[in-house]
Every structure is written in C-alpha cells, then in structure tokens.
Structure 1
C-alpha cells in the first residue's frame, strides 16, 4: 500500500512526564524545561582529548537565553532580524543558536566548508545584521565581508569573534546603520539554513518554530526517548541533522546532549562510553569510517539502545556489517533540510525494521508519484513527495523556486527517486537529476555505489553520468579507498587500482553497468544535509 501515513504527532509526545501546555515557540519550550528539570544537565561538551569543557543545565540555558535576549535588544536587533553563526561545535555555539531563536531572531548557521564565493553569497543574501564567528573562521569571514563592501552590496553588519568553547557570554555593541523592514511572515521563522544543490547558488531554507518543534516531537516519539536518554552529538550544528536531532530533540523530551568538537573515528567510541550515551546519531559516511576503525569492547557499549542513521540512504552491506561488528541495532531514517531533518524512520522495534529501507513516514505524509502527478503502484519508481508539520515554509527571497518546489495541492517535491512497497515502507533509488541514462536505459547511481563499496578496499564511492557520443551517457565512478594497511583492504593491504575495481564491477554489475572510468579522490563533496553532491564531482 502506497498510502500516506501519520504514526506520531506532537500531541503524542510531551517534553516531560507531566502535563504541560504545548510549546508554540522555542522560547516556550526552553522556559518550560527549565521549570521542569532545573539543574539537570542538558548539554555536556568535551575536547578532542576527551576532557570536559563545560556543562549547561536547563536552568542555565534559560538564564543565558534571557541575558542574551537583553543584549540583542540593547544592540538594536528586532524580532525577525537575522543573526549568523559561523562556528564549530561547542557550548557557546549551541547557546548562541538557541538564544537567537529564544529572542525571536532568525538564526543562520553557516557551513564551515563553504567556498569563498558561497560564503559571500550567504552573508549578502541572508541580510544578516550580526555574525558570530570563531577565530579559525574569522579570516575567511573578514575577507568575505570586505569583498562585499568593496562591491557596494553589503548592508551594515557587525562581526563578533568568540570561541565555540567559551563559557562567558559575548558582549555586544550597538549596531550601526538601519536595517530593512522585517516582513510580518518572517516573525514566525526561527531558522534560515542554506542548502547547496547540485547546481546554482545555495538556497536559504526557512523553518518556523512550528516546523522545528514538530520534528523534535516526532523524533522523540519515534525513538521513545525520555529524560534518561543521552545522545552523542558529533555532527556539526550547521548540519540540519546535528541541529534538530541532537540539539533540539533532547531539549523537547528533557534528555541530554554530549557534544564533541567534531566527528573523529579515533575518539568516537571513547566519547560514547565516557559520556554514558544511550543512543548515537550518525550519517552513512560515519558508518563507513567506523567500520574501518577499531572495535571497542562490546560489553562497554551495552548501554547503547540504538544507532540512528540519517540524511542519506545507508548501503545495506554497511548496515549489516555495522550491526554484526558492534552489536548495535541501526534505525535507518531519512530527511532533508527542507523537512527540518527526518521525515522517514524505521520502527524502534527491531523486528519491524527493513534493511535498505528509509522506513515509514514519521509524523507527516509521503507518497511516490509519476511525472504526471499520479500516485504510483507498489514497487513502481517515481518521485517522493511530502506533506506535514515539519515541512519548510519556503526559500528565502525565492518565491518562484518555492512555488516550483511544491505541487498545486501542497506536496513538497523532494527530487528523490524511490518506491513504496506493499507494506508502506519507502526506498530511495537515487536523485532525479543524477539518474544515468545509458543507451536509453535508466541506471540508478546508488546501485553502482553499493557494488563498489562491497569491494574491501573501497571506503566510499559515487557514480555519475558523463556525455558519450555512442550511448548518450557513460559511467564514471569516483572512489575513496581505505587507508593502506587496513585489514579491510585485504591481502597485502595495498589499495585497489582501476583494473581491480573494473573486474569487481564486471562480476557484480555486469558489463553494461560497469563504469568506463575510475577516478580516485580523497573525499566526496557533500551538502549541509550530508548527501553526496554527485554533479559537483565533474567540476572538480
């Protein structure tokens, strides 16, 4: 059955066991949780060496948000103004993001991996009035702002340099210059997050307080999370998954967050055990790197209830290998920036999970449609479309693109190709723009990716189509090999060459789907939500 489903609603989940008025804004939620949980730790941060760098309680978060709200107002910021945060993970970063939303401002977390032209575009297009920037990012930000000022396209903006690990709240001077009027509809927006597509400039996704609270509730309901649960947050806060799943969901259910500066395969399991986490949140790339690393004492991981994989489809072989190697069940989910992170999830009940599936709709509705908009039959491939409380209100200052992204009856077009089986489970086969059409035959790049990753020497892979005079398109595979000497490379530990990979593909895919060319790279380009940006590989 390929029918819309809605298994959880915000009403099914309360932020704590007692009855409470459903929060309408992040301010409501932070105030309510401070009253409910007081000095219970909400956020614990660690250094790369594993030492504690700070703890923020629910009361402490509320008090800091109130003080920063006062400082924002004294500096001249008004509801609906945009504040950018260009910093890595840390107590200060989390506090600034939450305080901006608490204050009625719109927070714009900037991807630290932005190229200079992207950074300039985001700073200018977002109409940001205040930028918090770390010392590491200050030179790039200064260069971007100076370039915009030289072009005469920069509105007055203030930059405040602060450390991601700082414990003292930043001082703010009065802002210089007048700001553009705030549109009334912007007053409900809490988050502006720019997502890089495969082509064109980044698009600013606008998410309201209602969008964020809805998905924080859906996540808490799906995984039956309680105040006793703690998650390891190693994904960056400029990643929609890192922000909503590991920062906002625990705030919603009264749990806690153990935050690391960044993901490190070397220290990941150490941090899980040291902070006594009950669940972990990863993306497929992290799964690949953990499979390539050391296996900790499995008895030390017994407190982990589950591992949650998100943002992109998880290769089935990696899914099975992770569970076998670490003894931790994976709940595969899927979402996008436009849906405030997850919109699909496999069930918490392990017997109902399906390897290779992104699961069932989580809190919203989903269906697969043909090009004419008609719903597909079970097993038939089409485009996934979505509708629900977590779906964005639109793209910032892009009404035409917003209109084109939604169907006439309000469904969000994802651009993802997939199908729904007869039991209502959804599967992703690729992106519509990335489909390879060779000799008139549609080839899903993911099929080639997964075949390549079954080679023991391949860490990651991404197949793309390139023009070909005979077939229309041919296949080129970009490959990240495992470290030399890894047990996974097999034999003498030497990485595979093109001839070895071609032979592997011939045996697993057949001649027609075997890539014509193999190009070896050190990493694959990814957007803020973690998805591989295949078409950018051809521009490298």
Structure 2
C-alpha cells in the first residue's frame, strides 16, 4: 500500500502568507530600500501588499495570466519584489535571471523559458537586444546605476505598472502549494544552466524553515546585500523576514564603504554574508557598537569575521534544496570552520563510492531527501531527463558536493563537483565556459579549472590546446580572441582570468583530461 504525503501547506500559497502578515502588521516596515543615489525609502506591509496588487492588476490587463512566464531581469530594488510577488498573485511564473548575463546568455534564458514579457532596468536593456522580437512587451524601471535616460520606443515605464488599483478580490486562483511560482537558473555540470522550477510550497518552505534555521524573530532587521535573483537574498533574507513579520533592509548591491552606515542607521540585527564581503569590510573602520546578533555564511566563525565580534553560523544549501539541509546553531556552540550539522527538517546521507554511509572522519557525496515541490525543487524547466538524473533510485537528490563527517557529528565542506567553480558567491560550470572556448576554429581541446583567489575564493583558469598548424607566435593572438569571445558570450565572472596554451593534457582513464593535475599545477605555482 502506497501513501501520499500530506502537504504541510495544503490550502495555502505565497499570496496567503503576504495577506496574513499584512493583516497582522499593516503599518510595520516590511522593506527599507537603501539606494546609493537617493534617500532611503520605507515601505510598510500594507504599502507593499497594495503595490503588489497594483502590479498584478496591470500585468493582467496587459495579458499576463496563470502559467505565463515573466522575465525579471533586475538588480536589487523594490520593483523586483513587487513583480515577483505579483506573479504569484496571478498564478504566473517569475523567471529570475542574473543581471551580469551576456546577450548570448539572455537569448538562451528567454528562448528556453519562453518568456513573452520582461521587466528590466535602463542599463540592462541592451542585454535583451537579441530577444526583443520574442517579447510582447518590456517594462523598465526609472533607475539603475547610471543617470536616468529616455526609454526607447515601445518600452513601458515601470511606473505604469503601479498605476492601476488592486483588484477588489485579491484571491484570483485557489491556493495550490504545488503551483509553480518562480524559476531560477543555476549552473550545473552540464554546458547550459538549468531552470529550477520552484512552487508556492517551496516559497512557503523557504520562508518558514529559513526563519526556523536562522532563529529569526519579529524584531529582527535583516540587511540584504546579495542579489535577489539568487536563493540566498530572496529566500533566506526576504522570505524568512516575511514569515516572522520582520523587516528587510535592501541594498542595491554590496558596498563596503556604505555597509556600516546603513547597518547602524537601520539597527540591523541579521546579515547573510560572504567571505568576500568580510574581507572587504576589514579595510573599513569597524564601529565600536552595532546591533548585529548573528551573521550567516558558508562556515562557522571564519577567520575574516573574528575582528567584528559577531557570531557567524555556517550552512549549506542549493537552489534545488530551497533552504539549508545542513545548518549550524544560533545560540549554542558550533565546531569552528564546520558548516553545521544535519538539519532536523531534512534527511541527508554522506555516501562513499559504493553508496554506503561514511564513518566519522570520512568524506563522501552528499544526498538529500525531501518532498518535491515543498522542501526540494519541483523539476528542471522543460527538462525531464535532467530532473530524473538529479535523483537516485530511492528518490534522494544528488547534490554533487562532497562532505566530511567530523568526529563530533558536525559536517565540513569537502569540495564540490570539481567541474563547478564558486566565483565570489556565483556558481560557474566549467563546461559552460569550455563550450564557448571550443566554438573558436583552431581550438582542439580545453579544460577550465578553478584557481584559488584571495578575494573571490576562486576564479576560472583556462588551459587550451590549439591545432598543430598554428604557430607559437600566434598563440597570444588566439588568447586575445578567446578572451573577446568569452566577454561577448559570458557573464563577466565566468570569463577566465588566466590562460595557458598547452601541447597536451595530463590524462586519466579513457583519455579524460586529469583536471586534478591541472589544479595541482596552479596551486604549486601559487605556492612558489
């Protein structure tokens, strides 16, 4: 006899959560927007909810309906969150994309997701030039990092999306936690990023479980500096704050010189950070007093955080896992440099090459068991093969990351699938970069590996083998052409920062390139 799990969010969706919190705290600040070139803007729960309703009404009037896919190509701003939540109200699907994406990458995202409308900002309009004919219309905010400029013909000012009144009846569709709500593209080990389909139930799980894991309270004020198109800022910071009725302070992006002023002025208590952020903040004067009680990042109490006197908890999660299957403790001791312990809200397994659990002190591959469409992603967008390959025969999600099980039961990050790089907090698939490099005639074979970097953790380094008839004096010319090709087709953080032309590669079984040897070469050269 088979049993179907009881969905913890049956009869609920994101719209229910926003409405419930608004009813409880109408006048409390939900969002404090801290633009760098204008005065701060405080938006209450009631104002936020009303703006979401306005955008939803206008989107509906412009032909957006349930199941339609809406591209949100925006840097951090209130309009991002208004649009994202409005898609949820309509039953539409928000497609969040990295604002550093190239024209070629945006062509892929829009074509693959079949978005027909887009919300963007002036300095990102050019990245949509190849897909403009695929889009029925584009709306554009009035601000970005540069000076305001007139919008091109046929582009709607975002202000027009706020011109309608919210619908008299805000409940447009029956609450269905398994209804897709948003898609986030993530670099995997394949040559093209996959669209991770996330549901209303995933959004509610993210809100509730992140609040639990991060021990958030209604009086917490979170400072978010990471991009909203990633799970971290959208899920950990915004949704977690919303669940407890807290306040989110949103920066356009991380700025070390502005960080403390914003944090002190808003009495911020919680911050999700990166080693890069902490190292950059060490160059700034550290205030004698602040209001932070916790920071969260990839490991417990890393060395760069010690001068701040703030407890830092570690965690591990992916876009596909919604929250943290591994999390440290907020008010109890943790093992330094660990990523925490197995979360009580998931089941995890650390398996050796034979698929057996590793003993204490051993390392293995991390797998995660959860509920699809609730605690795990629903599927990869229009890619059933990749979805099937992401789970083992018992339904466990295959993370591709390796974890070390410490003697005290804590967990330590071992390494990720080594074809994945982590560049300043951004995931980069080596195969995605290699695909671009191989498109240049004359290139026979390539290997992109991670090179350690003091500020960004690691950066791409490209080893390239050229055709035998290309003379050595032309090698520099080829490197320049490869660099130009990458800058044209890839986001800037994916472009290799180091290059080497090689006659051949070290090999392993079946003539595969021994990338481990290439990484060792780079490490030895850096040490020397």
Q: TM-score range by the shorter chain?
A: 0.7 to 0.9
Please tell me whether residue 306 in structure 1 is matched to residue 294 in structure 2.
yes
Report 1:6-405 matches (<5 A): 24-48=12-36, 52-141=39-128, 143-146=129-132, 149=133, 154=134, 156-163=135-142, 168=159, 170=161, 188-291=179-282, 293-299=283-289, 301=290, 303-309=291-297, 313-314=298-299, 319-323=302-306, 325-351=307-333, 353-362=334-343, 363-388=345-370, 389-405=374-390
CA contact (8 A) 1:465 1:476 kept: no
Between the aligned partners of 1:116 and 1:167, the Cα distance in structure 2 is 22
Q: CA deviation at 1:27?
A: 0.2
For structure 2, which runs of at least 5 residues remain unmatched after alignment? 1-6, 145-156, 165-175, 422-448, 464-503, 509-513
Q: CA deviation at 1:427?
A: 1.6
CA contact (8 A) 2:94 2:182 kept: yes
- Note closer, same or farther for the CA distance 1:201–1:469 as it changes in structure 2 (3 Å cut): closer
CA contact (8 A) 2:178 2:201 kept: no
Between the aligned partners of 1:76 and 1:282, the Cα distance in structure 2 is 39
Q: CA deviation at 1:73?
A: 2.1
SS at match of 1:378: coil
CA contact (8 A) 1:329 1:350 kept: no
CA contact (8 A) 2:54 2:163 kept: no
CA contact (8 A) 1:465 1:474 kept: no
SS at match of 2:123: coil
Coordinate RMSD, CA, aligned: 3.2
Between the aligned partners of 1:164 and 1:246, the Cα distance in structure 2 is 23
Q: CA deviation at 1:212?
A: 1.7
- Note closer, same or farther for the CA distance 1:474–1:88 as it changes in structure 2 (3 Å cut): closer
Q: CA deviation at 1:462?
A: 5.3
Between the aligned partners of 1:26 and 1:144, the Cα distance in structure 2 is 33
Q: In the alignment, what sits opposite 1:429?
A: 414
Q: CA deviation at 1:75?
A: 2.0
- Note closer, same or farther for the CA distance 1:226–1:381 as it changes in structure 2 (3 Å cut): same
4+ residue runs over 6 A deviation: 463-467
Higher relative contact order (CA 8 A, sep 6+): 1
Between the aligned partners of 2:241 and 2:162, the Cα distance in structure 1 is 28
Q: CA deviation at 1:354?
A: 1.6
Q: CA deviation at 1:199?
A: 4.2
CA contact (8 A) 1:37 1:58 kept: yes
Q: In the alignment, what sits opposite 1:407?
A: 392
Using structure 1 for the length normalisation, give the TM-score.
0.71
CA contact (8 A) 2:51 2:162 kept: no
Q: CA deviation at 1:39?
A: 1.1
- Note closer, same or farther for the CA distance 1:194–1:321 as it changes in structure 2 (3 Å cut): closer
> Alignment length, in residue pairs?
423
CA contact (8 A) 1:476 1:517 kept: no
CA contact (8 A) 1:118 1:201 kept: no
Q: CA deviation at 1:355?
A: 1.8
SS at match of 1:298: coil
Between the aligned partners of 2:403 and 2:215, the Cα distance in structure 1 is 28
CA contact (8 A) 2:30 2:246 kept: yes
Between the aligned partners of 1:218 and 1:160, the Cα distance in structure 2 is 34
SS at match of 2:302: helix
Between the aligned partners of 1:186 and 1:144, the Cα distance in structure 2 is 35
CA contact (8 A) 1:247 1:257 kept: yes
CA contact (8 A) 2:58 2:162 kept: yes
Using structure 2 for the length normalisation, give the TM-score.
0.73
Q: In the alignment, what sits opposite 1:418?
A: 403
- Note closer, same or farther for the CA distance 1:169–1:374 as it changes in structure 2 (3 Å cut): farther
Between the aligned partners of 2:354 and 2:385, the Cα distance in structure 1 is 20
Between the aligned partners of 2:233 and 2:160, the Cα distance in structure 1 is 23
Q: CA deviation at 1:202?
A: 1.1
CA contact (8 A) 2:209 2:323 kept: no
Between the aligned partners of 2:130 and 2:462, the Cα distance in structure 1 is 34
Q: CA deviation at 1:264?
A: 0.8
Q: CA deviation at 1:475?
A: 4.9
Report 1:507-522 matches (<5 A): 515-518=523-526
Q: CA deviation at 1:33?
A: 0.6
Between the aligned partners of 1:465 and 1:203, the Cα distance in structure 2 is 23
SS at match of 2:368: strand
Q: CA deviation at 1:377?
A: 2.0
Between the aligned partners of 2:163 and 2:414, the Cα distance in structure 1 is 49
Between the aligned partners of 1:390 and 1:287, the Cα distance in structure 2 is 30
Q: In the alignment, what sits opposite 1:537?
A: none
Between the aligned partners of 1:39 and 1:413, the Cα distance in structure 2 is 44
Between the aligned partners of 2:22 and 2:73, the Cα distance in structure 1 is 27
Between the aligned partners of 1:29 and 1:89, the Cα distance in structure 2 is 22
Between the aligned partners of 1:435 and 1:186, the Cα distance in structure 2 is 32
Between the aligned partners of 1:22 and 1:167, the Cα distance in structure 2 is 34
Q: In the alignment, what sits opposite 1:506?
A: none
